[in-house]
Amino acid sequence: EMTPEFMEIVNKCKTEHEPTEDELKGMMALKVPESANGKCFMGCVLQEIGVVKDGKFDKEEAKKHAASKMTDKDELEKHMQLIEKCSQEVGGETDSCGIGPKLMECIKQFAPEFDIALPQQPSE
């Protein structure tokens, strides 16, 4: 969900990286942006949230972030497993512009495995 704090982060990163409206809409549905701007925008948001530090994915911070958002123990456990998995997948990535797209691909690929519902893709 979009908290005012999160919207502030989004707007700050939008100003810095200028992704297109289409890219922004696409990202809501886990569509990886094509442009460097879009990719760096993702990295910017992840850095502002704190799950990316110095261009690297911070697994512990991601877990804390998930824990602060979820009350359901089972859901949280599934997300912890997904974070664990994706932190291995993006572990070698040290560029914050590359990390966002990689993370998104990983979530799309492995969320169903952990029985995590993803946002619906809007039909074209």
Q: Does some domain include residue 123?
A: no
Query: Of 42, 47, 44, which Cα lies nearest the Cα of 26?
Result: 42
Q: Does some domain include residue 87?
A: yes
- CA 104/CA 30 separation, integer angstroms: 6
Question: Tell me, what's the pLDDT at 74?
Answer: 93
Decide if 72 contacts 110 (C-beta within 8 A): no
Q: Does some domain include residue 119?
A: no
pLDDT band at residue 57, thresholds of 50, 70 and 90? very high
Q: What are the pLDDT digits (tens) for 7-53?
A: 999 999 999 999 999 999 999 888 999 999 999 999 999 999 999 99
Domain of 78, CATH number, reads 1.10.238.20
Question: Tell me, what's the pLDDT at 62?
Answer: 94
Q: How many domains does the chain have?
A: 1
Q: Does some domain include residue 120?
A: no
Residue-range definition of the domain harbouring residue 32: 4-114
Q: Classify residue 35 by its DSSP letter.
A: S
Query: Of 68, 70, 65, which Cα lies nearest the Cα of 83?
Result: 65
Question: Tell me, what's the pLDDT at 121?
Answer: 59
Q: Does some domain include residue 63?
A: yes
- What 9-12 contacts at long range (C-beta under 8 Å, 24+ apart), as own/partner pairs, is 9/45, 9/48, 9/49, 10/45, 12/44, 12/48
Q: Does some domain include residue 122?
A: no
Whole-model pTM: value is: 0.85
Q: Does some domain include residue 124?
A: no
Q: What are the pLDDT digits (tens) for 66-115?
A: 999 888 999 999 999 999 999 999 988 888 899 999 999 999 999 999 99
- CA 39/CA 19 separation, integer angstroms: 8
